[in-house]
Amino acid sequence: MVTLEFVVIIVCLLVGTRFGGMGLGLISGIGLFILSFVFGLEPGKPPVDVMLTILAVIGCAATLQTAGGLNVMMQCAEKLLRKHPQHITLLAPFTTWTLTFLCGTGHVVYTMFPIISDIALKKGIRPERPMAVASVASQMAITASPVSVAVVSLVSILGAQHGIGHAWSILEILAISVPASLFGVAIAALWSLRRGKNLADDEEFQEKLKDPKQREFIYGGSETLLNQRFSREATWSTWIFFAGILVVVLLGALPELRPSFEVKGKLSPLSMNLVIQMMMLIAGAVILLVCKVNAASISNGPVFKAGMVAIFSVFGVAWMSDTFFQAHLVELKMALEGVVKSHPWTYALVLFLVSKLVNSQAAALTAVAPMGLMLGVEPKMLIAFFPAAYGYFVLPTYPSDLACIGFDRSGTTRIGKFIINHSFILPGLIGVSSACVASYLLVEAFF
């Protein structure tokens, strides 16, 4: 019966991913129904705290985008890249990493891909080199951003485990995840410097150039944000957003600054879940009031839509998986507790594989991390293997990877003949594995 129930979950995940995040959330509802009505399992608890925190962050980021703040950030990034075109393979991934780090979502970097391609082509650099690693870096930064859905989810999960080991603050988590993520990106970028043939030696590319129409298509256009002028309100919105992030990190680092309330007979500081929710709502409200934002347009932006899809995905997947794990916690503990405790890397492997199935770092964490804690994985190991939550580059089906392929007019960034041999697989494996090693060593050294 346990095997059949597990098969139901896997089938729902596989079918759901064919229809994107919304499909994943909806079809997980079918799995939940089957587990409860057919197999008789008591429904688990949906991650309401996580979902509300994500909602607050997405609302603030969407307001920032509507105010023009994201375009201000991307224009600054383009200035840096065009100032040093010879270093595009190294600078591009750190640029996309920084944009995601600041905004909490990798969906903000799509505008950078045609710019990176244009700079690389004009400098005679194979566009695959900077573009593939830039796409990977934009997703690796999710585990380092204080306002990303994944970090918020991990803070919520660890925050609910007050009786288990060390009480981790958001600053302590970021102190590990930020340098580890940057190290992984650096190693992947260095490897990318010499990947593939130079354009002058690439027979397939040179054959394309013999066709005048293809040559015009490849070299004719030029994407840029440099000629755009943004209002002062757009710049203000960026600084207001940064201030909100800074306050979140400060209150996370200094719990004595938060008000304390009696919980189960003892005084405890206000939870970071609620702090993040409050500060993101406040930052969004200040942007709305000060920066002349059209409130009706906020929900129409791509950041808001992508965020709502993420919430729905987390809702369905986490509720369905919690139903299964809570029902069979005793059996799972008996079967897996010893293995997971003695070989914590198995937790990382499961997290990596599940993230590929659900195409979401946050959904993978909300499904796997609570199970890991129940099986006796130390909370610090959840942080040590946090980078493993990014595994959806294995197959080139994620929107950022597909967008990256579409924006490379040279055709060097591509999906291979055997699907798995695509442009993102090696930078992704190198980046994630390097980040996991760095994260593990940092946790072992300092905690």
Please list the pLDDT of the chain residue by residue as tens digits (447 residues).
888 998 898 888 778 867 766 887 899 899 999 999 999 999 988 878 778 877 888 888 889 989 988 888 888 888 999 899 999 999 999 999 998 898 777 767 777 888 898 899 888 899 999 999 999 999 999 999 987 878 878 887 887 554 445 567 788 899 999 999 999 999 999 999 999 989 888 888 888 888 888 888 888 766 677 788 889 999 999 999 889 888 887 887 777 888 988 877 778 788 777 888 899 899 999 999 999 899 989 988 877 887 787 788 778 877 887 788 778 867 766 666 666 777 888 889 888 988 877 777 887 888 788 888 887 788 889 999 999 999 989 877 677 787 788 888 888 988 777 778 889 999 999 999 999 999 999 999 988
Number of independent structural domains in the chain: 1
Strands (E), 162-321: 260-263, 266-269
Q: What is the pLDDT of residue 337?
A: 63
Q: Provide the token pair at 165.
A: 């080991």
pLDDT value at residue 137: 96
What distance in Å separates the CA atoms of residue 387 and residue 432, rounded to the nearest whole number?
6
At 415, list the tokens: 């999906």
Q: Say what the pLDDT of residue 162 is.
A: 43
Q: What is the pTM of this model?
A: 0.76
Distance CA 96, CA 238 (A): 17
Taking the CB of residue 22, how many other CB atoms lie within 10 A of it?
Answer: 14
Locus of tokens 């041999």: 421
Q: Do 200 and 207 meet the contact criterion of CB atoms below 8 Å apart?
A: no
Q: Give the separation between CA 62 and CA 310, rounded to whole angstroms.
A: 14
Residue 447 to residue 150: CA distance in whole angstroms: 22
Q: Which two tokens stand for residue 412?
A: 């060097």
User: What's the rounded Cα separation, in Å, for the pair 63 and 282?
Assistant: 11
Taking alpha carbons only, the member of 170, 154, 185 closest to residue 362 is 154
* Whole-angstrom distance, CA of residue 415 vs CA of residue 438: 29
3 state SS of 262: strand
Q: How far is it, in rounded angstroms, from Cα 175 to Cα 183?
A: 13
CA-nearest of 180, 153, 103 to 388 is 180
Give Cα 210 to chain centroid, integer Å. Answer: 40
Q: Under 8 Å CB-to-CB from 364, ≥6 apart: which residues?
A: 351, 354, 355, 357, 358, 389, 391
Select from 80, 87, 144 the least CA-distant residue to 112.
Answer: 80
> In 160-214, which ranges are E strands?
none
- Domain of residue 111 covers 2-446
